[in-house]
Structure 1
Amino acid sequence: MSKKLLNRHTLNLLPDSVTIPDYDRNTIRAGIVHLGIGAFHRAHQAWYTEQLLVEGASEWGIIAASLRSPAVRDQLAPQDYLYSVAEKSNAGEKVRVIGCVQHVYVAPENPGALLEAMTDGEIRIVSLTITEKGYCHDPASGTLNLQHPDIQHDLANPQSPKSALGFIVYALQARMDKGLPGFTLLSCDNLPANGKLLQRVLFEFAEQVDPDLASWIKVNTRCPSTMIDRIVPATTDTDREALENMLGLRDNAAVVAEPFSQWVIEDNFLRGRPDWDRAGATFVEDVEPYELIKLRLLNGCHSLLAYSGYLAGFETIADVMAEPAFAALAQHFLATEAGTAVEAPRGFDLEKYRQQLLERFSNRALRHRTWQIAMDGSQKIPQRWLGTLRHQLANGGPIDLLSFALACWIRYVSAVDDAGNTIEVSDPLAADLKALCDRHADDTSELTAAFLQFSAVFGADLRQSERLHSALSGWLTRLKQHGVLTCVRTQFEKSPA
């Protein structure tokens, strides 16, 4: 194993096959603060931005922040904030070193330093990848949860916020007080109308702080919606060791991703924007058709495969897709229940997109774990499944596979898989959901009713549907009797994969 670490002094030791930053990083000025520097941001928004810096757009460097853990900072700082993106497919691997990240703050260590960075007049964009739960909202209604402990803390402690909303509002307040302009807020999380959601909870938080501040923010910010797409599994020690063997250097902050990447952005910015379209992004007037396709097809099918596949004992999505019955399940879901609940924009080939998804899910090189995709289901399901479900119920369309998906999720949050093994359920509502499962374990009809009445996920309307209750209860009974794998094979073993 190499003892040399990837950093600015060792870049010239990398193989010629690796793309490296060939610009002077000392000339880059920060124009973006990014909140939530996880693997996805490094493989997506930073990856797009890097391509612009190579072309000379020196005003769009990134200052990043972790709102919770120092782990990513501790990986990046010794490497001069350099890291590699390894694009893996069944055909091979391609590696690029990213240099656009200039610094990483760890908010809990020094919240004042992050607030000061966000107050800098050179900052024109604050972008976010904080996951669905980071918006501190009620997923069913889309409004700010004022009882959320981080929100209550931030309203009481403006100098040391914890939430992204707290940092944004208090940074904007400081800019207002200094006579500085605001900035564009760019949500890059998997949420429908993510810009509108961010704007709504931002204004609701600001109203609690100061109504005059809320009025100023309405004039001095923009919140464009985006659609982001790239499969970025968690990097494992095996990934890092394989990359080290390839590079001859150790990269503790390496990110693994698929070759495919898509970014659709509403062209609504306050003080200019990077020309991300030169790196492959698409600027549009209306993101909604693209985001619905992505949320209902890609994300909806991903979650379907994750919950059903995990219960059946499969570790990765590629493993699930290697089972012909699950591949047929995915194909049928994309063509019928999800595929008929979207409308393609002009020039968008929906059939080609569906085929791409099946190929992407079958990428053996990624090893995207079903358990990782299954995290935080209570926050994801309203966007990934329930919008499609409401569409089909309203139009008399099919709901069998959506009901199957929901039944698998309910089985999953019961915290026991089909083999009787305990599941480590990672979800902010895990305790409440398991309690429902335990309370109604002996009666699937009562269990169905209890979940449909769980308004934090399902809202208030779906409990009224007798059709949904019947379909969901039926699947819960079959899954309890036979398990997921038998149910899927029984329904799809004769279907073409």
Structure 2
Amino acid sequence: MYHREACGVGIVHLGVGNFHRAHQAVYTDEVLARQSGDWRILGVSLRSENIARILNEQDGLYTLLIRGEGGTHAHVIGSIAGAVAASRSLAPVLTALISPKTRIVTLTVTEKAYGIDRASGAVSSLHPAVMHDLANPDQPAGVLGLLVWGLRHRRQRQLAPFSVLCCDNLPENGRLLRAGVCDLAERTEAGLGGWIAEHVAFPCSMVDRITPSPTDQTLRDAALATGCDDLAAVETEPFSMWVVEDHFPAGRPAWERAGALMVHDVAPYERMKLRMLNGAHSLLAYAGHVAGHAYVRDAMRDDALSRRVDEYLRAAAATLQPLPAVDFSTYAADLRRRFANPSIAHKTSQIAMDGTEKLPQRILEAAADSLAKEMPTKIFAFATAAWMRYSLGITDAGEQYDLNDPRAGEITSAVRRVSGAPHAPDLHSLRSYAVHASALSAALMGLPGLFPPSLLQSPAWREQVSGYLRVMLDKGMTAALQDAD
């Protein structure tokens, strides 16, 4: 371990969850171990007070378990200097945002936390955090409000603005975040949005590392490896990728020394990851969970589902432009190995959550591109139908589950309108939904702003989706996977 006390805090991270601790914090830790520097991280938890308390009790230290075919390797990560629970104590967060030492603010808060309309880039006035921050700009609760507060006060104090680095799975995430921040800022103070647009850097990034939720086994293995109880331990796979647009006027860690790719344009890498890894992952999650597979590794042992994944990866790769030094066939083979890693217990339910936030960029954009290029769309239609089947909230074995989607209410209402039933389907009534497959498919496609117009206007696409959904409902997911050959 390097001399942590000699390294000052230069990064504030919003959303100090499992993924951040397995990804960005690890890259920064390696940089600090190699060349020191004032780049330690103040973690901000926006929802849970628990992780902030645990990290502080452990002086920011935690165990990273890397699980692969060769066994499990443990590393103690020291790049987090401390953590703050914003819901409990806002003042330390605001103080850090206006500290001259803070040069970068990074974020991993998941898609639904931003409250930005993806089509327009404007903030959603119905988003709870946006509503709060518009009404209470000096006591922000959401990520956009915190960023606007920090940048507004730095401007007032004539301090150089920090760079804002989004690390969530969003297309052109830096540009989207910039648009949302500028819009909220302009609604807060005339001229502030324009100043931010001119002076603040919002580089894009692409992140890639499978990180399941920690389990009791994670904690036991961390204690066995370190001799210490570690309630902040996190586990992940050996593979890790980080592609970052190299635009940091206030400076940055030398992340390239830890293996990050610092590039001029992130978009092609981002598109590859979203369509291949994330799209195939979503297919595995929707179909796998309905078929009764609790973990991705189990779903990959299902031969029919594994063949669908192969088909999906080939179709997604066909929608991409060639990338220097990247072979899509090799990348697809790597993805298959990663999905099948027996040491990673990644729940299908974890991947399937927030489907309406993920479906457009992971599956629907690739489908629309394939349609425009007159390439086959059937595997994208199958994946879409699997999402629709998953949206009924019940497995083929009759186990009911929470959709955990920001538009769950709209989905449930659409399903009940079509079926005429006052309650969610149970095992007894599930097959009866097959007669409503076309209407159910149309109702879910009709959710505002979810599906691209080109897909909605294609009778062939709509028939593909409803046809697959009908088989899933009538015969079950396993039969649908086999019939798709």
Same fold (TM over 0.5): yes
Provide the secondary structure at the position in 1 that maps to 2:152.
helix
> Which stretch shows the higher mean deviation, 132-141 or 262-271?
132-141
**Cα distance, 1:43 vs. partner?**
0.7
Aligned partners of 2:326, 2:242: CA distance in 1, in Å?
A: 14
**Cα distance, 1:151 vs. partner?**
0.6
Q: Deviations along 1:262-294, whole A, 9 cap, x unmatched?
A: 000111112111110000000111111100000
Q: Which residue does the alignment assign to 2:53?
A: 74
Q: Which residue does the alignment assign to 1:165?
A: 144
CA contact under 8 A between 2:368 and 2:452: conserved in structure 1? no
The yes-or-no answer on 1:478 pairing with 2:471 is: yes
Provide the secondary structure at the position in 2 that maps to 1:271.
coil
Between 1 and 2, higher relative CO (CA 8 Å, sep ≥ 6) is seen in: 1
Q: 2:231 aligns with which of 229, 236, 252?
A: 252
RMSD, aligned CA: 1.3
> Which stretch shows the higher mean deviation, 431-440 or 114-123?
431-440
Q: Deviations along 1:210-265, whole A, 9 cap, x unmatched?
A: 13111221222101111100000000112211322233221110010000000001
Q: What amino acid does structure 2 have at the position aligned with 1:203?
A: C
Provide the secondary structure at the position in 1 that maps to 2:460.
helix
Q: Which residue does the alignment assign to 1:312?
A: 291
**Cα distance, 1:58 vs. partner?**
2.0
The yes-or-no answer on 1:425 pairing with 2:403 is: yes
**Cα distance, 1:35 vs. partner?**
0.4
State the identity as a percent.
Answer: 39
- Report how many aligned residue pairs link the two structures: 470
Q: Which residue does the alignment assign to 1:132?
A: 111
Q: Which residue does the alignment assign to 1:447?
A: 440
Q: Which residue does the alignment assign to 1:273?
A: 252
Q: Which residue does the alignment assign to 1:55?
A: 34
Provide the secondary structure at the position in 1 that maps to 2:396.
coil
Aligned partners of 1:414, 1:323: CA distance in 2, in Å?
A: 22
**Cα distance, 1:140 vs. partner?**
5.2
Provide the secondary structure at the position in 2 that maps to 1:62.
strand
**Cα distance, 1:422 vs. partner?**
0.7
Aligned partners of 1:221, 1:100: CA distance in 2, in Å?
A: 25
Q: Which residue does the alignment assign to 2:413?
A: 435
Q: What amino acid does structure 2 have at the position aligned with 1:413?
A: S
Q: Which residue does the alignment assign to 2:424?
A: none
Q: Which residue does the alignment assign to 1:98?
A: 77
The yes-or-no answer on 1:85 pairing with 2:64 is: yes
Aligned partners of 1:347, 1:246: CA distance in 2, in Å?
A: 37
Q: Which residue does the alignment assign to 1:208?
A: 187
Provide the secondary structure at the position in 1 that maps to 2:29.
helix
Q: What amino acid does structure 1 have at the position aligned with 2:174?
A: G
Flag structure 2 segments of 5+ consecutive residues without an equivalent.
Answer: 420-432
Aligned partners of 1:438, 1:410: CA distance in 2, in Å?
A: 13
Aligned partners of 1:112, 1:160: CA distance in 2, in Å?
A: 9
Q: Deviations along 1:391-433, whole A, 9 cap, x unmatched?
A: 0111111111111111111111211111122112111111111
Q: What amino acid does structure 1 have at the position aligned with 2:170?
A: L
CA contact under 8 A between 1:139 and 1:382: conserved in structure 2? no
Provide the secondary structure at the position in 2 that maps to 1:116.
helix
Q: What amino acid does structure 1 have at the position aligned with 2:213?
A: A
CA contact under 8 A between 1:290 and 1:344: conserved in structure 2? no
CA contact under 8 A between 1:318 and 1:364: conserved in structure 2? yes
> Which stretch shows the higher mean deviation, 362-371 or 23-32?
23-32
> Which stretch shows the higher mean deviation, 308-317 or 101-110?
101-110
CA contact under 8 A between 1:410 and 1:437: conserved in structure 2? no
Provide the secondary structure at the position in 1 that maps to 2:406.
coil
Provide the secondary structure at the position in 2 that maps to 1:211.
coil
Q: What amino acid does structure 2 have at the position aligned with 1:169?
A: V
Provide the secondary structure at the position in 1 that maps to 2:292.
coil
Aligned partners of 1:275, 1:350: CA distance in 2, in Å?
A: 28
Q: Deviations along 1:17-61, whole A, 9 cap, x unmatched?
A: xxxx2x211111111100000110011000000011112332111
Counting only pairs closer than 5 Å after superposition, residues 12-411 of structure 1 correspond to structure 2 as 21=1, 23-139=2-118, 141-335=120-314, 337-411=315-389
TM-score (norm 2): 0.95
Provide the secondary structure at the position in 2 that maps to 1:33.
strand
Aligned partners of 1:375, 1:71: CA distance in 2, in Å?
A: 22
Aligned partners of 1:457, 1:111: CA distance in 2, in Å?
A: 35
CA contact under 8 A between 2:211 and 2:235: conserved in structure 1? yes
Flag structure 1 segments of 5+ consecutive residues without an equivalent.
Answer: 1-20, 493-497
Q: What amino acid does structure 1 have at the position aligned with 2:437?
A: T
> Which stretch shows the higher mean deviation, 457-466 or 185-194?
457-466
CA contact under 8 A between 1:139 and 1:457: conserved in structure 2? no
